[in-house]
Structure 1
Amino acid sequence: MTLIRNISQQRFKKIMEQTVDRLYASLYPLCKDKAMCEDIMQEAYIRLWNNLEQVKDDEAVLALLRTYARNIFLDEVRKAARKQQGMQHHVPEEKADSPEDYLRNRELHAQLQAAINKLPPQQQLIFRLHKEHALSYKQISAQMKIATGTIEVQMNRALKSLKSELAHLNGQP
């Protein structure tokens, strides 16, 4: 048992030495934050260690690590978006013209959030990054590692879905 463990540790160490710089180089442009990048890399290597027995091709391990890192990053972005969304619900009240206006605005906001929450996960993430975090399509494309054209298509679909979902607010059927 100790021999197998030693072999696994040596293999893991070799993989780390061969991939750490390239993983960092591919992850940093996504995060743009050294500490976050290092935390994500640590989590990616932990996942690799936990699944090392299933990894058969050490040559393809960098792609696997990049996938782990990208998924961890996207999870962090989603957590931040949820946290931001939660903070938006606790924004100090703005002075409304009347109590009726305040209630109407609050109800509209709740309906909008409910409609956004119904979007498919990727559309929802792209919509929130663009509309709530004011990121450009190019920035979103770089963060999510998908084509700018895909971002545009997903945004158009999200807007179409929201328009359809919220059509009743304009008196449309």
Structure 2
Amino acid sequence: MTLIRNISQQRFRKIVEGTADRLYASMFPLCKDKAMCEDIMQETYIRLWKNLDQVKDDEAVLALLRTYARNIFLDEVRKTARRQQGMLQHAAEEKADSTEDYLYNRELNAQLQEAINMLPPQQQLIFRLHKEHALSYKQISAQMKITTGTIEVQMNRALKSLKKKLSHLKGNFPFL
């Protein structure tokens, strides 16, 4: 058994040495990538090794190797195309999700703005200065010339009112 295996290995080595340059020369124009060409050649010779017992004419083996190599190349092209199609489809789904999220957030914002607009003028102003303009109670107090205690009371009332008006959206606004 070892003798047969040794003969097969010698035969295989002789085929590889006799065909590698010509196979590479015929595959490179197709692949246009050295690493890909080398990978395809490696796969081609693995197929040859698996089917070596069925190869009758070592002199005509180059045509068989080119067929193997071309088929492996086409399989790789198909795999790449499927992967790219999958990525494009995934990107399109993400974009659709993003569009839905955008529309949902826009609707939430519209409802919030409507509820804020319904607040009494002073509460509305204090709420907007604090939440939209990020002013502290002390800064609002100085700007409006009222005490920080009044600011605090008005903010609490504004938040209570907004919670009530937007209760159906609970969890969508962190300040409610």
Query: Which TM-score bucket, shorter chain as reference?
Result: 0.5 to 0.7
Q: How many angstroms does 1:61 deviate by?
A: 0.4
Q: d(CA) in 1 for partners of 2:73 and 2:28?
A: 11
Give the 3-state SS of the residue equivalent to 2:90 in structure 1.
coil
The answer on 1:64 being equivalent to 2:59 is: no
Deviations 1:120-165 (A, max 9, x none): xxxxxxxxxxxxxxxxxxxxxxxxxxxxxxxxxxxxxxxxxxxxxx
Q: d(CA) in 2 for partners of 1:33 and 1:80?
A: 15
Give the 3-state SS of the residue equivalent to 1:56 in structure 2.
coil
The Cα RMSD (Å) is: 1.6
Deviations 1:97-131 (A, max 9, x none): xx9xxxxxxxxxxxxxxxxxxxxxxxxxxxxxxxx
Q: d(CA) in 1 for partners of 2:27 and 2:79?
A: 18
Question: What does residue 137 of structure 2 align with?
Answer: none
Q: d(CA) in 2 for partners of 1:89 and 1:13?
A: 45
Question: What does residue 33 of structure 1 align with?
Answer: 33
Deviations 1:6-34 (A, max 9, x none): 11111101000100000000001111111
Q: How many angstroms does 1:59 deviate by?
A: 1.1
Q: d(CA) in 2 for partners of 1:51 and 1:6?
A: 16
The answer on 1:8 being equivalent to 2:8 is: yes
1:142-153 matches, cutoff 5 A? none
Q: How many angstroms does 1:84 deviate by?
A: 0.7
1:102-113 matches, cutoff 5 A? none
Q: How many angstroms does 1:46 deviate by?
A: 0.4
| Greater share of residues in helix | 2
Q: d(CA) in 2 for partners of 1:40 and 1:12?
A: 17
Question: What does residue 95 of structure 2 align with?
Answer: 93
Runs of 4+ in 1 over 4 A off after TM superposition: none
Identity of aligned residues (%): 79
Deviations 1:66-119 (A, max 9, x none): 0000000000000000001101112242769xx9xxxxxxxxxxxxxxxxxxxx
Q: d(CA) in 2 for partners of 1:6 and 1:88?
A: 50
Question: What does residue 21 of structure 2 align with?
Answer: 21
Runs of 5+ consecutive residues of structure 2 not aligned to the other structure? 104-176
Runs of 5+ consecutive residues of structure 1 not aligned to the other structure? 100-173
Deviations 1:20-71 (A, max 9, x none): 0000000011111111100110000000000000000011100000000000
How many residues of Structure 1 are paired with residues of Structure 2 in the alignment?
97
Question: What does residue 103 of structure 1 align with?
Answer: none
1:70-81 matches, cutoff 5 A? 70-81=70-81
The alignment's TM-score, normalised by the length of structure 2, stands at 0.53
Q: d(CA) in 1 for partners of 2:2 and 2:95?
A: 63
Q: d(CA) in 2 for partners of 1:41 and 1:67?
A: 11
